[in-house]
Amino acid sequence: MEIYIVDDYQQLSMKAANFVASQVILKKNTVLGLATGSTPEGMYSRLVQMNHEGIVDFSKVITFNLDEYLGLASEHPQSYHFYMYNHFLAHINIAPQNTHILPGITGDIKKTCREYEQKIREAGGIDLQILGIGINGHIGFNEPGSFLKVQTHLMGLTKETIVANSRFFPTLADVPRQALTMGMGAILQAKRILLLANGKSKARAIQEMVNGRVTTAVPASFLQLHRNLTLVLDKEAASLLP
């Protein structure tokens, strides 16, 4: 595990964007696993800039998003579809058919999950998976519990996550209670993983993830088993590390 600790959010975003750009420059047809949340916003914005400056070309890149809220249509401003297009995909030269996001509205959840797994496999798996981390140690929407799932699946969100994510919704009652998420399998099988965290609220999850036991109570702790994991943290998120 490689850990970079930077002074602030601006530096975190720059470093993360350089990391992703160097991957795409080296391998034009990179398969990227994308994360949402407030943490990677600065990174996406810098990548858009780098694309416009001609530094990085996304024309051959394939993307798979980690997760989506169940029940939110892609036009819903809080859907991860909306987020991804708004912050990144609509502003770069990516081919729309190369972008994949789990649907928030689907008639057959099991089939949708199966097909998503199949598409990831057909693309050859993920080259670089970008991750944030929940305050409770979740990755994607793989929430803490007595077990974790390997495949893409439907997940009931924990109270902690619903409360944490309510900042994006008018009221707590508006936060979806369920989501579709890539499972631990596709994430851990990614060739490289880049995890970003900033702010004091993430310090405990980062400390447990880096130094704690590998446990389903902290899904991110399984990343300790990955051979090519890079963390970019600001000082506050790293504040409980030894």
Give me 40's structure tokens: 């990677």
Task: Considering the candidates 68, 117, 127, 143, report the single residue annotated as catalytic.
Answer: 143
Residue 138 is a catalytic residue: yes
Report the DSSP beta bridge partners of residue 5. Answer: 233
Contact 178, 71 (CB under 8 A): yes
Q: Which is nearer to ligand GLP, 33 or 58 (CB)?
A: 33
Distance between CA atoms of residues 111 and 102, nearest Å: 11
165 touching ligand GLP, by CB under 6 A: yes
161 touching ligand GLP, by CB under 6 A: yes
Residue 67 is a catalytic residue: yes
234 touching ligand GLP, by CB under 6 A: no
Phi and psi torsions of 128, nearest 5°: -135, 120
H or E element in which residue 163 lies: helix 159-165
Which letter does DSSP use for residue 64 in this model? E
E strands, 9-51, in order: 31-34
67 touching ligand GLP, by CB under 6 A: yes
219 touching ligand GLP, by CB under 6 A: no
136 touching ligand GLP, by CB under 6 A: no
Q: Which is nearer to ligand GLP, 48 or 133 (CB)?
A: 133
For the chain, the C-alpha Rg in angstroms (whole number) is 17
36 touching ligand GLP, by CB under 6 A: yes
Residues taking part in catalysis = 67, 136, 138, 143
Binding residues for ligand GLP, rule: CB under 6 A, are 35-39, 66-67, 132-134, 140-141, 161, 165
